[in-house]
Amino acid sequence: MARERSPASWLHSQTSVTRRMPACRRITLLLPLWLLHFSSVYSDITDGNAEHLKREHSLIKPYQGVGTSPSSQWDFSGSTLITSQYVRLTPDERSKQGSVWNTVPCYLKDWEMHVQFKIHGSGKKNLHGDGFAIWYTKERLHHGTVFGSSASFLGLAIFIDTYPNDEAPDRSFPYISAMVNNGSLPYDHGKDGRSTELGGCSVEVRNQDHDTYLAIRYSKGRLTIMVDVDDRNDWKECIDFGGVRLPTGYYFGASAATGDLSDNHDIISMKMYQLMVEHTPEEDNQDWTKIEPSVSLLKSPKDNIDDPTGNFRSTPLTGWKVFLLLLCALLGIVVCAVVGAVVFQKRQERNKRFY
């Protein structure tokens, strides 16, 4: 069976066809192709090839590798309940904390984690909480006040926050956000982590009739987070941020907590995929275990405490940005058409002089 060509190879073939066309016409035809290619790559996500699945870092039914024995690849603590269908971090009860952690450190430089989860409970609007977190950190099984884990950590955290502690009107919950920390910036739970987040999005992931999905990709210094809340394999971008530096040798985990309000926080699966990416010789020779977790920002997260809009954040290419990009492309086509018409008219007038 013939394999379907990728957007990149398709664009290359279309480009070669137009090489002999006039310059203005080439630009007119290629602009839509470039835009289509850009949007395809921008929303690209791994297809979950089995050969790239890293089972030692994956949590999959029936969870045979979960336990406290020396050979176990996943460990759990607190209120976590292991069943044949899900790993329940917390039940729908007050004041519970639970977590599950991979016992094998991850030495992949480029990876993508797919998390299948379900948050559900009897609480009505804003009467449920608190949420859960996905971790990639130096230490594991450290209990604390941030969704059941430590507020001061080294590494990456993805928070699925279901309760608005700050109650600011400009943000709706549930809310997904990301934070990279070198241990010096504690997560401010009272402010829902506004001062230290890289970005985020509001997604309705609670009390769905189906499972919901989260994809976390880290490749060549770029962190991308996408969600599928409709169980249709239709991924929507939530966060896309460059300049992220994460070391190897850290641990993946998930934790959740309830307080006066509660929910069931269930992990159905955590599947880790290795991304096949080429690096420069300098990058390959670097000791990635010595890298300090950091992010290249226009300003420090500490300076963002009084700026709830987060001007330093990198936002997805959606909404008005897409509109502006398409508008610029359309203007470029119009300009090319006008210039082409003027040039054609002048050539016609010049040819008439010879008759």
Give the model's pLDDT for residue 127.
Answer: 85
Give the model's pLDDT for residue 310.
Answer: 35
More confident residue, 274 or 13: 274
Work out the mean pLDDT of the chain and round it to a whole number: 81
Give the model's pLDDT for residue 297.
Answer: 66
Average confidence (pLDDT) over 18-40: 46
Q: Is the pLDDT assigned to residue 308 strictly greater than 50?
A: no
Q: Is the pLDDT assigned to residue 295 strictly greater than 90?
A: yes
Tell me the pLDDT tens digit for each residue of 150-200. 999 999 999 999 999 887 778 899 999 999 999 998 999 889 999 999 999
Radius of gyration of the chain (CA): 25
Task: Give the up-direction half-sphere exposure of residue 254: CA atoms within 13 A in the CB hemisphere.
Answer: 25
More confident residue, 23 or 231: 231
Q: Is the pLDDT assigned to residue 18 strictly greater than 50?
A: no
Give the model's pLDDT for residue 44.
Answer: 54
More confident residue, 317 or 61: 61
Backbone angles phi, psi at 51, to 5 degrees: -70, -20
Backbone angles phi, psi at 101, to 5 degrees: -135, 140
Is residue 173 helix, strand or coil?
coil
Average confidence (pLDDT) over 333-351: 78
Give the model's pLDDT for residue 5.
Answer: 33
Give the model's pLDDT for residue 317.
Answer: 47
**pLDDT band, residue 352 (cuts 50/70/90):** low
Tell me the pLDDT tens digit for each residue of 42-98. 445 555 555 599 999 999 999 988 887 778 999 999 999 999 999 999 999 999 999
Average confidence (pLDDT) over 222-235: 94
DSSP type of residue 122: S
Give the model's pLDDT for residue 45.
Answer: 57
Q: Is the pLDDT assigned to residue 355 strictly greater than 60?
A: no
Q: Is the pLDDT assigned to residue 313 strictly greater than 50?
A: no
Percentage of the chain exceeding pLDDT 70: 76
The two three-digit tokens of residue 14, written as one number: 């279309």
H helix or E strand, kind and range, residue 16: helix 7-17
Q: Is the pLDDT assigned to residue 281 strictly greater than 90?
A: yes
Q: Is the pLDDT assigned to residue 1 strictly greater than 90?
A: no
Q: Is the pLDDT assigned to residue 246 strictly greater than 70?
A: yes
Closest among 108, 111, 88, 91 to 100, alpha carbons compared: 88
Q: Is the pLDDT assigned to residue 258 strictly greater than 60?
A: yes
More confident residue, 347 or 317: 347
Is residue 178 helix, strand or coil?
strand
CA distance 206 to 47: 25
Give the model's pLDDT for residue 336.
Answer: 82
CA distance 157 to 160: 10
Average confidence (pLDDT) over 92-120: 97
Domains of the chain, earliest start first: 53-295 (2.60.120.200)
Say whether pTM exceeds 0.95. Answer: no
